[in-house]
Amino acid sequence: MTAPDPRPQALLTVRDLRTYFHTDAGIARAVDGVSFDVMPRETIGIVGESGCGKSVTSLSIMRLIRPPGVIEAGSRVELEGRNLLELPEHEMRRIRGNRVAMIFQEPMTSLNPVFTVGEQIAEVARVHANASRREAWDRAVEMLQLTGIPSPAERAKEYPHQLSGGMRQRVMIAMALMMNPSLLIADEPTTALDVTIQAQILELLQQIQERFAMSIILITHDLGVIAEMAQRVLVMYAGEIVERASVGDLFAHPHHPYTEGLLAAMPTLGAARTRLAVIPGTVPAPTRWPPGCRFHDRCPHAWERPEREHPPLFEVGPSHWSRCFLAEEPDRRRVITRSEDRVGETR
């Protein structure tokens, strides 16, 4: 008898996920060898700038990549032990919205303007559970209630444009919850909302996660949201994971220079009035990732080695990984002063 695996079984296992877009301008390697696990009931955050591959990663998990995008052979996405990438399309349809649900950044454009929100929420149960109109509607109202919408039975009869942005996002969440999924992918769920509404929606996500025992993949470029919600973080840059750590570790001891840059760029309440730090430059075009370390041309510490050699993920602490040669050559790390950036202190 073999010893039982001491680690709990992962809900979702992503291994060497590569999603390439075969365009006329060349092959865009939008997601290029991403691996991670999502544990049951865990919230995992994915952060990074626009164009770093966060959204393509989530769409790849759902297999919603459209041509010319292709999930390359050898990639694996296992949900509850089944490789989703090998399922026939009709079985994959039974997973979407049922075992894995997704909510998007802009709830207005994600909702159909010509149907009431109740009809749209109910549609999920009609697609997946073959529910009768009546049952589906009742469940839709129940879900709306759960998301904290006042007088849900009346609201269900309204059209998307009659609701506020926060309420629309609650509607999207209600749709996602209809079939009690084990994994919820939230792609920038609060980016389009006011700050006050944002806090409400995040709190709602936490409540329903507890209640439905779901795992959440939270995609955002807002580290503040990550700090509030997630247990573990993946930092993505140029189609790769550059740092993977628990939230506490990441904020206390960021290792990768890109992560440092992101943290430095966060505004802090009560700090001296300083110009926000920025990471110079932009994410390079996905058709032409730089050779070597993909961040080297924007990195304040870069030397010759990352220009030539592509760094693997180094374990820099317990369950803390970083794709940076500084793990092997820590003396190369320079002290970055930001004194020259300070403005307005004397005011």
Residues that bind other proteins (CB under 8 A): 62, 64, 67, 90, 93-98, 101-102, 104, 106, 108-116, 123-124, 127-128, 158-162, 172, 175-176
Task: Compare residues 86 and 328 and give the one whose CB is closer to other proteins.
Answer: 86
Task: Compare residues 31 and 111 and give the one whose CB is closer to other proteins.
Answer: 111
CB 199, min distance to other proteins, A: 24
Residue with tokens 């924007």: 298
Task: Compare residues 101 and 229 and give the one whose CB is closer to other proteins.
Answer: 101
Asked if residue 68 has a cis previous peptide bond (ω within 30° of 0), the answer is yes
CB 232, min distance to other proteins, A: 24
Task: Compare residues 161 and 347 and give the one whose CB is closer to other proteins.
Answer: 161
Q: At what angle do helices 165-177 and 195-212 cross, to 10 degrees?
A: 10
Rg (CA), the chain: 22
Task: Compare residues 88 and 267 and give the one whose CB is closer to other proteins.
Answer: 88
| Residues 41-70: b if buried by 16+ CB within 10 A, e if exposed | bbbbbbbbbebbbbbbbbbbbbbebeeebe
CB 237, min distance to other proteins, A: 25
Q: What's the farthest any 2 CA atoms get from each other in the chain?
A: 72
CB 216, min distance to other proteins, A: 15
| Residues 299-329: b if buried by 16+ CB within 10 A, e if exposed | bebbeeebeeeebebbebeeebbbbbbbbee
CB atoms within 10 A of CB 266: 13
Task: Compare residues 38 and 242 and give the one whose CB is closer to other proteins.
Answer: 38
CB 23, min distance to other proteins, A: 15
CB atoms within 10 A of CB 37: 17
CB 161, min distance to other proteins, A: 5
Q: Measured in whole angstroms, how far is the alpha carbon of residue 253 from the centre of its chain?
A: 21
- Cβ(110)–Cβ(104) under 8 Å? yes
Task: Compare residues 186 and 299 and give the one whose CB is closer to other proteins.
Answer: 186
Residue with tokens 């060349």: 26
CB 114, min distance to other proteins, A: 4
Distance CA 55, CA 43 (A): 16
Task: Compare residues 181 and 286 and give the one whose CB is closer to other proteins.
Answer: 181
Distance CA 191, CA 207 (A): 19
CB 222, min distance to other proteins, A: 20
Distance CA 42, CA 39 (A): 5
